[in-house]
C-alpha cells in the first residue's frame, strides 16, 4: 500500500507484495540456470552436430539472460522487503526495477520462440541435449504465460482515473476537488462492479428484480472499497494484525465476574427452555437446505439413505405437498426432521432473486405449524444478501422507525404472499387449528423469518420466531426492541454473519487502516507471522504494532482519504441509504470455553447466556469466524450445550470448565 503506479495507471498490487512471488521466481530461475549451466558444461562436446552451433549459441545467450534476470529479481525482492505497509518511501526504486524486469521479457520471449523454432526443425543432436533445450523452452513459456495471467489479475479498471490523483499528492485530500474526485470515483466503481457482477451471475436471469439487485450490490461494493487505496494483501495483513490484537486484549483483561443464579431463577429457566426449543427447531432450519446439507453432514451414508427418493417417481402424496422440483430434497427433509410425508403442507424450492425456498410442516411434538425459510445457497441468494439498502416495512404496529434490510424484507414479503395468498397457512390450520405458528430459518433464512414474523403478527398474534445466525444489519433499533417479544436469535462463537452490516464493515475498514498504519514491520513478516499464528498459535504480543511518535512523521504517500480516517474518523457512506441496523429479538450467545484450538482432538465445549446486541457491534477476526456459521457446526454446539453427556460429567473440559457448571439436561 499504496497500489503501484506503472505506465500511468494504478495497479491492484503494492510495492511490498513482490517478496513471495519474487522468491518463488528466484528459486525457479536459479534451479533453471544451474540446470542449463550443467547441461552446457557436461554436453557441449556433443553439440558438433548439424545445427549444434545454433543450440550452443542459444544456451550461452540463455545463461547470460537468466543471470541478468536473477540479479534483477533479487533486487526486486530486496527492495520489496524495505519499509512498512504505510511507508513506501524506501521502495521508491521499485517502479524502475519493474520496468527493467518487464523489458527483459522481450528478449526472453524472442529467445524462447527461436528455441521452439530450432527444435521444430528436427535438429540432429544428442537426445539429452535436445530434451534439455525442449525443457528450457517449455519452462520459459510457462513463466511468460504465468506473468501475463498475473498482470491480468492485478489490473485495476479504475487505475487510469486514480493515478492522476496520487500524482497530485496528499495536499489535495482536503480540497473541494478531492470530494468531486471521490464522487466520480464511486460512480465509476459502481459501473465496474456492476459489470463484474453481471459476468459472474450471467446465468441468474435478466428480469427487473435481478437488474435492481445487480445495481444495489454494485453500489454497496463500490461504497465500501472506493475511498481507500487498499490492495488485497493489505487487507490480509490487517486482518492478521487485528486477530492478534484482539487476542492480546482478551489475554490482558481481568477474568469476568461470574454471577451465579439460583437454580430456580426465571431467567435461567427461560434460557434452558429456549435452548431446548432452539435445538428442536434448528432441525427444520437445516432441513430447508435440502439434500446438499444432508449429504454434507452425512458424507458416507447420505446418498445411500436418500438415493431411493432421488430416483422414485412422483406420487400422489408428493403432489399433495405442493412441492416443485423436489428431486432428492424430500427424502433429506424427511430424514432431517423425522416427520412423515403427510406432516408437510407445502415444500417449495423455487429460488430467484428476492424469492427464497421454504417448507411448511406440522410439528406434532411441539404442536406447532412450522415455517422454515432456507438460507444462502445460490448466487440469487447472495444478490438478495447484498441488496443492503434500507426500506420501510408496512406493518400494523406502533413502532415509528420501521426500517429493514431491503433484500431480506422483499424475500420475506414473497414468502408472506405465498403463505397467505396461496392459502398455505389456512390449509395448515384447517388440519390443526389448535397449533401455534413458529417461523424459523438460518442465516439469510433467519433474517427473512424474523421479518416474516412481523408481517404475520397481525393475523397470528402468538407467532414465535427462532432465528439461527441471523445477519446483523436487519432491523432498526425500534424494530429490534419490538421483536424481543416474539423472536429469539441464536449466535455461535465468533460467527461473522451476526456481526456483519454496512456499519460494522465500515468500522472494520477503519480498524484495518489504523492497525496497519501503526505497524512498524514489513508486510511479508506480518503475513508470515500471521500464517504461523493462525495455524499453530503463539503469543499475540510478539509482533509490535505501534510506531514510535517520530516514525509517524516519516510516512509517505498516505492512503486515499487516510488523513481524515485516522484523525477525525470517516463518515459512513450514504447514511440515509445505509443506517445502522441490528439483529432481531433476544439473543442467546453460545461461547466456546477456553481458546479456539486449531488442532485438537477434544470436542469443543460451549456455554450459553443471554447477550446484548451491542456485543455484536464489531466483527471479530478468528479461525472460526466462518465455520461457526455453518449449520452443522451450530447443531453440534446446541447438542453439546443441551444434551446430557455422561463423558463430560466424569471429567473436566479443557480450559478449566467444570462439568458441574454446565447447563443441566433438559
Q: Which of 409, 443, 476, 501 is catalytic?
A: 443
Distance CA 479, CA 582 (A): 9
Q: Are 161 and 184 in contact (CB under 8 A)?
A: yes
Neighbours of 6 (CB within 10 A): 17
Classified as helix, coil or strand, 383 is: helix
Cell of 240: 492478521
Distance CA 317, CA 293 (A): 24
Query: CB-side exposure of 561: number of CA atoms within 13 Å?
Result: 23
Pairing mode of beta strands 403-405, 436-442? unpaired
Distance CA 464, CA 254 (A): 38
Q: At 625, give phi and psi (nearest 5°).
A: -65, -25
Signed CA dihedral, 529, 533, 537, 540: sign only: positive
Q: At 620, give phi and psi (nearest 5°).
A: -95, 140
Active site residue 262: no
Cα distances from 195 to residues 155, 219, 224, in angstroms, run: 15, 12, 17
Active site residue 495: yes
Q: Which residues pair with 437 in a beta bridge?
A: 369
- For residue 28, the surrounding DSSP H or E stretch is helix 19-43
Q: Which residues contact 18 (CB under 8 A, 6 or more apart)?
A: 76, 77, 80, 94
Cell of 396: 400494523
Distance CA 232, CA 234 (A): 5
Q: Which of 16, 234, 495, 628 is catalytic?
A: 495
Distance CA 664, CA 272 (A): 8
Q: At 69, give phi and psi (nearest 5°).
A: -65, -40
Q: Are 49 and 5 in contact (CB under 8 A)?
A: no
Cα distances from 542 to residues 91, 251, 640, in angstroms, run: 26, 13, 35
Signed CA dihedral, 490, 496, 501, 504: sign only: positive
Q: Which residues contact 261 (CB under 8 A, 6 or more apart)?
A: 267, 268
Q: Which residues pair with 14 in a beta bridge?
A: 3
Catalytically annotated residues: 443, 495
Amino acid at each position: 500500500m499504496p497500489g503501484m503506479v506503472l505506465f500511468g495507471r494504478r495497479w491492484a498490487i503494492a510495492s511490498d507484495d513482490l517478496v513471495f512471488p519474487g522468491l518463488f521466481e528466484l528459486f525457479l530461475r536459479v534451479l533453471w540456470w544451474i540446470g542449463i549451466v550443467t547441461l552446457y558444461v557436461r554436453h557441449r562436446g556433443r553439440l558438433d552436430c548439424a545445427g549444434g552451433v545454433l543450440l550452443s549459441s542459444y544456451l550461452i545467450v540463455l545463461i547470460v539472460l537468466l543471470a541478468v534476470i536473477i540479479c534483477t529479481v533479487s533486487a526486486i525482492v530486496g527492495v520489496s522487503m524495505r519499509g512498512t505497509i504505510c511507508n513506501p518511501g524506501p521502495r521508491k526504486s521499485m517502479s524502475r526495477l519493474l520496468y527493467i524486469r518487464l523489458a527483459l521479457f522481450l528478449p526472453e520471449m524472442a529467445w524462447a520462440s527461436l528455441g521452439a523454432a530450432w527444435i521444430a526443425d528436427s535438429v540432429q543432436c544428442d537426445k539429452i541435449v535436445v530434451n534439455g533445450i525442449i525443457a528450457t523452452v517449455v519452462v520459459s513459456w510457462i513463466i511468460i504465460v504465468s506473468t501475463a495471467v498475473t498482470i491480468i489479475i492485478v489490473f485495476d479498471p479504475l487505475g487510469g482515473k486514480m493515478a492522476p490523483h496520487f500524482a497530485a499528492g496528499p495536499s489535495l485530500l482536503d480540497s473541494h476537488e478531492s470530494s468531486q474526485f471521490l464522487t466520480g470515483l464511486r460512480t465509476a466503481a459502481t459501473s465496474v462492479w456492476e459489470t463484474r457482477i453481471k459476468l459472474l451471475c450471467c446465468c441468474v436471469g435478466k428480469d427487473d428484480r435481478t437488474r435492481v439487485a445487480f445495481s444495489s450490490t454494485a453500489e454497496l461494493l463500490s461504497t465500501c472499497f472506493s475511498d481507500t487505496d487498499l490492495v488485497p494483501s493489505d487487507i490480509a495483513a490487517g486482518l492478521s494484525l487485528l486477530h492478534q490484537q484482539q487476542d492480546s486484549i482478551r489475554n490482558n483483561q481481568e477474568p469476568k465476574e461470574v454471577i451465579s443464579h439460583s437454580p430456580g431463577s426465571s431467567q435461567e429457566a427461560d434460557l434452558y427452555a429456549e435452548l431446548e426449543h432452539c435445538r428442536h427447531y434448528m432441525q427444520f432450519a437445516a432441513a430447508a437446505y435440502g439434500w446438499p446439507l444432508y449429504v454434507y453432514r452425512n458424507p458416507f451414508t447420505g446418498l445411500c439413505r436418500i438415493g431411493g427418493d432421488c430416483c422414485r417417481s412422483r406420487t400422489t402424496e408428493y403432489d399433495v405437498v405442493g412441492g416443485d422440483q423436489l428431486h432428492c430434497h424430500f427424502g433429506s427433509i424427511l430424514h432431517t426432521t423425522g416427520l412423515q410425508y403427510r406432516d408437510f403442507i407445502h415444500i417449495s424450492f423455487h429460488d430467484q432473486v428476492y424469492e427464497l425456498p421454504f417448507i411448511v410442516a406440522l410439528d406434532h411434538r411441539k404442536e406447532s405449524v412450522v415455517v422454515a425459510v432456507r438460507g444462502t445457497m445460490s448466487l440469487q441468494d447472495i444478490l438478495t444478501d447484498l441488496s443492503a439498502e434500507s426500506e420501510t416495512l408496512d406493518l400494523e404496529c406502533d413502532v415509528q422507525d420501521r426500517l429493514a434490510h431491503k433484500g431480506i424484507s422483499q424475500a420475506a414479503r414473497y414468502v408472506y404472499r405465498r403463505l397467505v395468498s396461496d392459502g398455505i397457512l389456512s390449509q395448515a390450520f384447517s388440519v390443526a387449528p389448535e397449533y401455534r405458528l413458529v417461523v424459523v430459518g438460518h442465516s439469510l433464512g433467519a433474517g427473512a423469518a424474523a421479518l416474516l414474523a412481523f408481517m404475520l403478527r397481525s393475523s397470528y398474534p402468538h407467532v414465535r420466531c427462532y432465528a439461527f445466525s441471523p445477519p446483523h444489519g436487519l432491523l432498526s433499533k425500534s424494530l429490534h426492541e419490538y421483536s424481543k417479544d416474539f423472536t429469539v436469535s441464536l449466535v455461535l462463537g465468533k460467527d461473522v454473519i451476526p456481526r456483519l452490516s454496512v456499519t460494522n464493515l465500515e468500522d472494520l475498514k477503519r480498524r484495518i487502516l489504523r492497525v496497519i498504519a501503526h505497524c512498524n514491520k514489513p508486510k511479508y513478516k506480518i503475513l508470515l507471522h500471521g500464517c504461523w499464528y493462525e495455524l499453530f498459535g503463539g503469543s499475540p504480543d510478539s509482533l509490535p504494532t505501534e510506531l514510535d511518535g517520530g516514525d509517524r512523521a516519516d510516512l509517505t504517500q498516505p492512503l486515499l482519504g487516510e488523513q481524515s480516517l485516522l484523525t477525525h474518523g470517516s463518515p459512513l457512506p450514504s447514511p440515509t441509504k445505509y443506517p445502522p441496523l441490528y439483529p432481531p429479538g433476544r439473543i442467546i450467545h453460545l461461547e466456546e470455553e477456553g481458546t479456539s484450538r486449531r488442532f485438537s482432538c477434544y470436542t469443543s465445549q460451549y456455554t450459553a447466556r443471554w447477550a446484548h446486541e451491542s456485543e455484536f457491534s464489531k466483527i471479530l477476526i478468528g479461525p472460526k469466524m466462518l465455520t461457526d456459521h455453518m449449520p452443522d457446526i451450530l447443531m453440534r454446539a446446541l447438542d453439546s450445550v443441551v444434551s446430557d453427556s455422561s463423558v463430560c460429567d466424569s471429567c473436566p473440559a479443557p480450559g478449566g470448565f467444570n462439568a458441574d457448571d454446565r447447563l443441566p439436561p433438559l
